[in-house]
Structure 1
Amino acid sequence: MAMTMKLIHVPPRYFPAISGAEFYFMRLSELLNDKHDVEVHTTNALDFRAFHDPKGKVIKIKEGEEIHGVKVFRNLINHEPLEILEEFHIVMKEIDEDGSFTLNDLEYGPFSSDLRQSLQCKEPDLVHVTFYPYFNIYVALHTCMEKSIPCVITPFIHGENPRYKHPSISLLQKFSKILACSPSEKKFLIRRGIEPSKIHEITMGVDLHQIKDYGTSKFYQASRIPREKLIVLFIGYKNYEKGAITILKAIPRVVKRIPQAHFVMIGPPTKQYKILMHQLEGYSKYVTNYTPDNLSGYLDPIKLGALRACKVLAMPSRSEAYGIAYLEAWAAGKPVISSNIPAMRDLFTDGIHGRQVKFDHPKRLADAIIDVLSHEEKARQMGNEGFRKVKQENLTWKNVAKQVEGIYTQLARA
């Protein structure tokens, strides 16, 4: 007989905060809440700046908050140095006997004594956290060690990013189970001393039925982009890490060859991105920008319509744990362009499901975009292969939730 569990999910932020990690927990929480008692305990941060700066954007705390049937408990972040040091000492004194956690790790935050106290008041069967190197993972681990209950982590390791090479990564060994998104993430963890038996590989997912047949009319009405334009879509943080800066640098070369090209950039902007947009001058007319302020969430009609209207999704990141946006593009039957990094080589084959290029190389990126836009039949074949991959490998959130539930059940019964 299937057991009903009391589960707590602890992301550093939660919807309406937007990134892949938040979406991951949002879909897990919603799907598992049908069978189990799921609560989300998080901070009140809306943007990452709020983790360490009181001027960052925050979400108003509401008593009894529920999102799509899931109870959400938001907690204030501590910004005073003495409060941070006190919280650090309370949480880490039993976790980090070897001093792996350094002062450099303090910069990430978020520090929240309210979050720790919120968790201590609960009696769950299991806690699941994300993502390294943010401090909420240690708060949850500390609580689980005190209560002698399992603590699972999905760390979302981006192996090419220097911040994931800190000594504190060895502390992941203390979690009951580590859920890696890809073979390359698992290998990265093993190379850094994590016991292989601790690691279980589970991919990300997509809501296939909500994307594959979605119409484009709302997107074209809202964007006013002529339908004859060849749309190149980007979804993610508009920063160097995600490749948005490289895309802007590639635009002049692309539109000189293909004047009908148009770039739709969806995601939160950064200062560097805004500066470069201004420097594009005459080329800025080839770009339409959307931010979370313009959209209603992960499955916003404009975003879904853009996925269906585009010719290719380009997200040439420096590093990825997995890349949910690629699955969304394939669900819409579109090819993708990524950087040639280990996680992407795990995910798809260059020339079959899309293209892979060297990171931070505007010329090569531009040439890949030109190639896809110039060969309509080949692009259609790659998009179809991506769609086939999603279906054949069952890369859906329902399947992800089923696998994660299996891990929970195994640990709760142990």
Structure 2
Amino acid sequence: MLKILLVVQNYTPSVGGTQTFFQHFAENCVANHGDEVTVITTNSYFGPDKKQFKLIKEVYAFIKGVHVKRFPFYRWHQPVCRLLAKIAYRILGQVPEWINNYLSGPWSPQMINAITRSDADVILAGTSNYLYMQYPLYRQKLQQPKPFVFQGAIHFKEDKTIQVISRQALAAIAASEYYLANTHYEKNRLAEMGIAPENIAVSGCGVHLADFVEDEGHAFRQQFGIGEDEILIAYIGRIEATKNIELLLTAFTQAAQIQPNTKLIIAGYPNPDYYQRLQGIIQGYEAHVQQKIHILTAMPHQQKNALLHAADIVMQPSFNESFGIIFLEAWACKKPVIGAQIGAIVSVVDNGTNGLLFHPNNAANAAEMLLQLITNGPLRLQMGHNGYQKLIANYTWDIVAATCRQTLIQAKEKFYVS
């Protein structure tokens, strides 16, 4: 049995890829290994670096055997830091790391105190640029320092000259016992930056197949007036600028001109400004095109599963991903996927086998990929089946959690031997 401390910026009922990863890993350790797992997190539904704030009132929770402790964090300084960042960028052409650190946060003395006083055997924390991720840099000053596994989920850019991780975060990774990468692409990029490859474990993300068994796709199509002969394309994820949804709209409208028997549903939690921008784009289309597009916000989990079953194609146009868990969720429902041909996604989706990849920021090429699947039912079925086979071989939670837990065990052994 392990006594594990997990540190993460947000935790269920907050929704997102990182939240899902930490929740399912925690619950798997409790259910399958009898581990004692504590989660330290913020009291917010949204990341501490977001302008939006929505309070989670429950300070302590016991969720499926996992102890969850939520802490407040300062927010008053963020407008000041944003202003300083703008001034610094205009004068220096870059933003000093200390400003970005306090923008990312969370700036929470109570949270840091709880981490430093933990009696856990090992700590797993994520993600890369948050203040608490600097623990490996100062832990030797503590009375009871702990072994530390760094889960970065770094969204590397294709352009290697763009710095996406701070020097301090890179130093913290180097000082950690192990780094937990989502993909081999992430591992290779870190190795290029000087992190020892033998200290990087690749876990990926996971899904519970049981969550996707119930097929309510037919009822979903009826609810939204989607005919059985119509091809439904679905996007599921945060509705924000980094997800590149404008490209999806452009690609969809181009494909729909050639194959009009199509519809598009965009589903997820919206950034208000970006949501308005998308609405403005859609309102600029002709009426018959507008009728083909639905945007769903605040969609309950069960409806999300119904949409995945209802869809013929699942598309994720984002140019900034560390993995892309929606691909796994689509494969759990045996659906083909389309994504951007960027490093992290190339590590997950096998182009031409379980999905198609388009050239980044190339809407015409994305439309070509859509048309390949819209016009070829057998290909959609084959790719969906291939994706399902890859999922059950690599990305169930039992498989992913076993890799993560073994990494924690190795981190503990490494720390106390050295």
Q: Which amino acid aligns with 1:352?
A: T
Distance in 1 of aligned mates of 2:238 and 2:163: 17
- Work out the CA distance in 1 between the residues paired with 2:16 and 2:252: 25
CA distance in 2 between counterparts of 1:125 and 1:141 reads 18
- Among 291, 295, 299, the alignment partner of 1:294 is 299
**Does the C-alpha gap of structure 1 residues 212 and 173 become closer, same or farther in structure 2, counting only changes over 3 Å?**
same
Relative distance call for 1:294 and 1:331 in structure 2 (3 A) is closer
Distance 1:208 1:310, change over 3 A: same
Paired with 1:332 and 1:81, the residues of 2 have a C-alpha distance of 44
Query: CA 1:349–1:63 in structure 2 vs 1: closer, same or farther (change >3 Å)?
Result: closer
Structure 1 contact 233–264 (Cα < 8 Å) conserved? yes
Go from structure 1 to structure 2 and tell me whether the alpha carbon gap of 1:30 and 1:173 turns closer, same or farther (over 3 Å shift): same
SS of 2:266's partner is strand
Deviation at 1:219, TM superposition (A): 2.8
Say which of 55, 60, 63 aligns to 2:56. 60
Partner of 1:160: 157
1:310 alignment counterpart: 311
Counterpart CA distance in 2 for 1:324 and 1:145 is: 38
User: Would you say the 8 A contact 1:15–1:22 is kept in 2?
Assistant: yes
Q: 1:164 Cα deviation (Å)?
A: 1.5
Task: Report matched runs for 1:191-230 at 5 Å.
Answer: 191-212=192-213, 214-220=215-221, 222-230=223-231
Structure 2 match to 1:16? 13
Cα 1:265–1:406 shift into 2, 3 Å: same
Unaligned runs of 5+ residues in structure 1 are 86-99
Give the secondary structure class of the aligned counterpart of 1:164.
Answer: coil
Identify if the C-alpha distance between structure 1 residues 71 and 384 changes in structure 2 by more than 3 Å, giving closer, same or farther.
Answer: same
Task: Pick closer, same or farther for the CA change 1:158–1:64 going to 2, 3 Å.
Answer: closer
- Whether 1:275 and 2:273 are equivalent positions in the alignment is no
Contact 2:128–2:165 (CA under 8 A) maintained in structure 1: no
Q: Which residue does 2:327 correspond to in 1?
A: 326
SS in 2 for 1:127: strand
What corresponds to 2:116 in structure 1? 120
Consecutive unaligned residues in structure 2, runs of 5 or more: 82-95
Displacement of 1:33 in angstroms is: 1.6
Residues 182-235 of structure 1 show CA distances to partners (whole Å, capped at 9, x for unaligned) of 111001111111122221111211212322553324534654544443111112
Do the aligned partners of residues 148 and 345 (structure 1) sit closer, same or farther apart at CA in structure 2, a change above 3 Å counting? Answer: same
TM-score (norm 1): 0.86
Indicate conservation of the 8 Å contact 2:209/2:332, yes or no. Answer: yes
Q: Find the counterpart in structure 1 of residue 84 from structure 2.
A: none
Letter in 1 for 2:44: A
Partner of 2:88: none
Question: Take 1:385 and 1:116, find their aligned partners in 2: how far apart are those partners?
Answer: 45
Tell me the residue number matched to 2:146. Answer: 149
Contact 1:213 1:332 in 2 (8 A): no
Q: Secondary structure at the match of 1:7?
A: strand
SS at match of 2:388: helix
| Equivalent residue, structure 2, for 1:92 | none
2: CA distance, partners of 1:301 / 1:9: 27
CA–CA distance in 2 between the matches of 1:152 and 1:111?
21
Identity, % of aligned pairs? 22
RMSD of aligned C-alpha atoms? 2.4
**Secondary structure, aligned partner of 1:238:** coil
What do the CA deviations read for 1:1-44 (whole angstroms, capped 9, x no partner)? Answer: xxx12111111111122111110001001111221011111011
Amino acid at match of 1:260: N
Give the SS at the match of 2:44: coil
| Alpha carbons 2:3, 2:120 under 8 Å: kept | yes
Structure 1 residues 239 and 320: CA distance shift in structure 2, 3 A: same
In structure 2, do the counterparts of structure 1 residues 269 and 211 end up closer, same or farther at CA, with 3 Å as the change threshold? Answer: same
Q: Deviations over 1:150-206 (max 9, x none)?
A: 111110111117451433342211112101111110011111111222211112112
Counterpart of 1:153 in 2: which secondary structure? strand
Distance 1:44 1:140 in 2: 24
**What is the total number of aligned residue pairs between the two structures?**
387
Q: Distance in 2 between matches of 1:121 and 1:227?
A: 58
Which amino acid is the alignment partner of residue 278 of structure 2?
L
> Per-residue deviation at 1:310?
0.7
- Provide TM-score, normalisation by structure 2: 0.86
Asked if 2 retains the 8 angstrom alpha-carbon contact of 1:43 and 1:75, the reply is yes
Q: Distance in 1 between matches of 2:410 and 2:12?
A: 29
The one-letter code of the counterpart of 1:59 is L
